[in-house]
Structure 1
Amino acid sequence: MRAGIVTVVVALLASCTWGTADDAAPATPSASATPEPVAVTPLEAPAPATVVDGDDAAAALATSAALLDAAPVVVLAAAGDVPGTLTAATAAVALGAPALLTGADADVASELARLGARHALVVGDVDPAVLPDDVVAVAVPSGAGADVLSAAVGRPLGEPAPVPAGGEAAAVRALAAPEPAVLVAEGATATASADPAATPGDQEATVLPPTTAVTVPGVLALADGPVPPAAAATLRALGVDVLDVPGGDPRATSAAVQALAGASPEAVVAYGSSFAPADRLVHRVAAARTGAELPGGGQLVFPAVEGQPGKRYVALYGTPGSGALGVLGEQDVPATVARAEQHAAPYRGLTTDTVVPAVEIIATIASAGAEPDGSYSRKRSVEELRPLVEAAGAAGQYVVLDLQPGHQDFVTQAQLYTDLLALPHVGLALDPEWRLAPGQVHLRQIGSVGIDEVNATAAWLAQLTRERALPQKMFVLHQFSLRMISERERLDTSHDELAPLIHVDGQGGQPAKAGTWAALRNAAPPVHWGWKNFYDEDVPMLDPAQTFEVQPVPDLVTYQ
């Protein structure tokens, strides 16, 4: 990762430690000052991901700490002083300097010392005790007018811009260097001169030294809601772009994924508690940076962003080349892809969510005999399955690989299909009905699995997804009786990389199916839900409208 290089050139002034600026103050240092340009380069790069939360003062301090190793010039205002914060924001963007707020619990004095600050623009009523003794300060009033502020910062500024109450964050975010608008609270009169009461002692007037433009390369800010104004001012001052990420997950929408892929940031600073913890955000950003999207857009299997459509899936079930195991295998690959779309189409008029066609492919097939490895499970090879997997992906369809492992464990079988699971649009399903205990045989006993094996499989799949920076994966558990998954209440649903779903596989009369649905949902862990329609076994099979009358509405509907 490149270092976040920030260069600020200052001309040190031989002047007092606390001064004023008004309409009569010069816009450049006095002739008696001896300029001595100094270039300052930070030693450390920004952290890969920093989550900023808290009030404006805390956010301003955290932003400075995350992005800057040194800043000879800073801008200060008092926390809670809205007109002063607007003035400070304008000055910070003009100067290319951080904006900090004193008061509350913000340890501004320590931050100024860390930054090596030598000059400060002090806006309004700021306690002088926060300033180190060697800092030269220039004071301006809260709500300073353009002439006053321009004189203090030593450069021209834009026109005054009234800011309505509640619009401060948006106004600051819109500021643009090198001549930002002068923000003033709506209804207030811009102060034309400094307030003598805000200037301790009878000190000589001075102005800030010239500074260069400041940029922090390779950093992108993320925001779930407004960025606190002082923090936003620092971002604008440093040239850091802000990407809006409603809900705090950059994988959630196509717009966010493509923006991150285009920016390819080396580090992010995120505003809002929804982004926490930072280590999780690192992996979410890594996935989004790839630009790979799931069918239906974005990188979440089931996005839940207010104002954005969710997703539901309609799938064919079976294995290629065999109509005996489901409708998926009744036709060749192109016809299967077309048939999946035909099944999904009627559902689109029933929901505002995006309906994604899908195929659930039986990758390992329960067999009556032991097979050469004794597993009672016949493996379809990766190359046998690849044509349908790739054709479905090319058509914008999701793929789920289904495992019927017999006497093998699910983790061992899942690892056989790593090459396919490494594709962005491929998820995994476990079929405990076909997971045999020692001495059991298919169709004589109904299989089952312990929760520890399920959780181990989920952990392996989550790790694969995380290490390869893949979009989230659907993780399906087939179930039609409670005993098929022992201790189901301990299902690990914490993996951010997975979207767990329990797929209810009951067949027969609709009252019986409804009873199975209700029984399995009772005391269930927090998961999504799937429903299966059987062409031959259901009495009768539900049509799409009837299927979506099931409550809650299924997130995945499969046809067998």
Structure 2
Amino acid sequence: MLSTKNLLLVPQLFCVAALFYSCSGADSKTPAKNNSTNDSTKTIAAEEKDLFKPVDSAKYFELQKYLANGDTTGKWPVKKDVLPKDGAILPFNRIVAFYGNLYSKKMGALGEYAPKDMWRLLNAEVAKWNKADSTIKSIPAVHYIATVASGTPGKDGNYINRMPDKQIDSALTIAKMHNAIVFLDVQVALSNLKAELPRLEKYLKMPHVHLGIDPEFSMKTGARPGSKIGTYDAVDVNYATEYLAKLVKENNLPAKILVVHRFTQGMVTNYQNFKLRKEVQIVMHMDGWGEPELKKGTYRNHLYKEPVQFVGFKIFYKNDLKKAPNRLMTPQELLKLTPKPVYIQYQ
């Protein structure tokens, strides 16, 4: 199963959308909730308190069992699971995210639509999920590709395009329009996580900003991104969770989420060596496109069989329609999967 979610952003596209998203007037600004300073202060205080909401341990494990969806093999719920730090989002919420990059309309819904239109569509998807599952509340997210694998080597020869801060700031501003959480996605190409994560540290220190890492574009052999599918090992994933956990502890942050994309066996190796930490919740995300049966097969073969902690599922608005039956999978269908996905991404 192919992903083709990136299309390898080229430098010539960099000037296309920057001014639109950073200077588009009311569409890119947070609407004022209330002109009263006192009301505003109360709202901020309430939001900060909610960030560190104590984890109900009984509820946590009850919901993990619910997500296991009756599995009798012993794989789900995950035996080595750990109770997360206060403020944990999962499994108390289901995240429904739009993915993309503001420089390209071809990389996902996030960059394809103006902010108001994007939010109209994303809110509609969140509503569908809340209607389909009343047990776990669905909340919106913006999943922004902050480090993009490129088809050209660039000045450092690493085949990578690092988004400027002003564009990452624009993604955060769009998310703030509806108080959404944010994921910053990293495609390291010929670089590595140790070199790329520190560049995003000031954002990852924000309580509502989380991380995604993409093995597809981790080219450990030195091959050009897009010429073959890359890979991450447990060593890489453990480095990412250790990095996030350190930020959480040093900055008194609520638990972070790490999304790891996957749609082939070789993209992730030695999953059994992943280290679970109370500061970081890991989502293994089924990232391939195709007809429903193919997608479900990928889910069973690579995510169900190799349990980590939580599972996600991606819907491609265009690529999933390329083959019969030419339809998108519905929330009702996805809720029948074992385990139930708790992170849903639309591209």
TM-score by length of 1: 0.45
CA distance in 1, matches of 2:119, 2:184: 16
1:432 and 2:215 correspond: yes
CA distance in 2, matches of 1:246, 1:400: 25
Q: Letter of the aligned partner of 2:99 in structure 1? A: Y
Is the CA contact (8 Å cut-off) linking 2:284 and 2:308 kept in structure 1?
no
Match of 1:550 in 2: 337
Which is further off, 438-447 or 471-480? 438-447
Match of 2:306 in 1: 524
Tell me which of 367, 370, 390 is aligned to 2:150. 367
Match of 1:404 in 2: 187
Q: Letter of the aligned partner of 2:131 in structure 1? A: G
1:344 and 2:121 correspond: no
CA distance in 1, matches of 2:54, 2:144: 37
Q: Letter of the aligned partner of 1:435 in structure 2? A: S
**Where does 1:289-300 land on structure 2 (aligned, <5 Å)?**
299-300=87-88
Q: 1:388 deviation in Å? A: 2.1
Q: 1:244 deviation in Å? A: 9.4
Tell me which of 247, 268, 271 is aligned to 2:57. 247
CA distance in 2, matches of 1:248, 1:529: 20
Q: 1:246 deviation in Å? A: 4.3
Q: Letter of the aligned partner of 1:483 in structure 2? A: G
Q: 1:544 deviation in Å? A: 2.7
Is the CA contact (8 Å cut-off) linking 1:312 and 1:555 kept in structure 2?
yes
Match of 1:442 in 2: 225
The C-alpha deviation readout for 1:339-381, integer Å capped at 9, x for no partner, is 3222211111111211101111111111101111111110112
Q: Letter of the aligned partner of 2:104 in structure 1? A: S
CA distance in 2, matches of 1:541, 1:248: 35
The C-alpha deviation readout for 1:497-526, integer Å capped at 9, x for no partner, is 111010011211211111110011344243
1:491 and 2:274 correspond: yes
Tell me which of 56, 66, 89 is aligned to 1:301. 89
**Where does 1:66-85 land on structure 2 (aligned, <5 Å)?**
none
Is the CA contact (8 Å cut-off) linking 2:261 and 2:287 kept in structure 1?
yes
The 1:373–1:516 alpha-carbon spacing in structure 2 relative to 1, beyond 3 Å, is same
CA distance in 2, matches of 1:445, 1:527: 28
Match of 1:464 in 2: 247
Is the CA contact (8 Å cut-off) linking 1:319 and 1:329 kept in structure 2?
yes
**Where does 1:151-162 land on structure 2 (aligned, <5 Å)?**
none
Match of 2:259 in 1: 476
Q: 1:486 deviation in Å? A: 1.8
CA distance in 2, matches of 1:395, 1:536: 25
Match of 1:333 in 2: 115
Q: 1:394 deviation in Å? A: 5.0
Return 5+ residue gaps in structure 2 as ranges.
1-52, 60-81, 321-325
The 1:470–1:444 alpha-carbon spacing in structure 2 relative to 1, beyond 3 Å, is same
The 1:300–1:245 alpha-carbon spacing in structure 2 relative to 1, beyond 3 Å, is closer
CA distance in 2, matches of 1:395, 1:324: 24
CA distance in 1, matches of 2:313, 2:54: 35
Q: Letter of the aligned partner of 1:247 in structure 2? A: S
Is the CA contact (8 Å cut-off) linking 1:321 and 1:331 kept in structure 2?
no
SS at match of 1:483: coil
Match of 2:6 in 1: none
Q: Letter of the aligned partner of 1:557 in structure 2? A: I
Q: 1:384 deviation in Å? A: 1.1
Aligned residues: 268
Is the CA contact (8 Å cut-off) linking 1:403 and 1:429 kept in structure 2?
yes
SS at match of 2:106: helix
CA distance in 2, matches of 1:523, 1:357: 28
Higher relative contact order (CA 8 A, sep 6+): 2
Q: Letter of the aligned partner of 1:537 in structure 2? A: N
CA distance in 2, matches of 1:418, 1:244: 25
The 1:244–1:392 alpha-carbon spacing in structure 2 relative to 1, beyond 3 Å, is closer
The 1:351–1:437 alpha-carbon spacing in structure 2 relative to 1, beyond 3 Å, is same
1:515 and 2:297 correspond: yes
CA distance in 1, matches of 2:296, 2:56: 36
Q: 1:477 deviation in Å? A: 0.5
The 1:244–1:413 alpha-carbon spacing in structure 2 relative to 1, beyond 3 Å, is closer
RMSD: 2.5
Return 5+ residue gaps in structure 1 as ranges.
1-242, 250-279, 289-298, 304-309
1:500 and 2:282 correspond: yes
SS at match of 1:427: strand
Match of 2:41 in 1: none
* Structure 1: 4+ residue segments shifted above 6 A: none
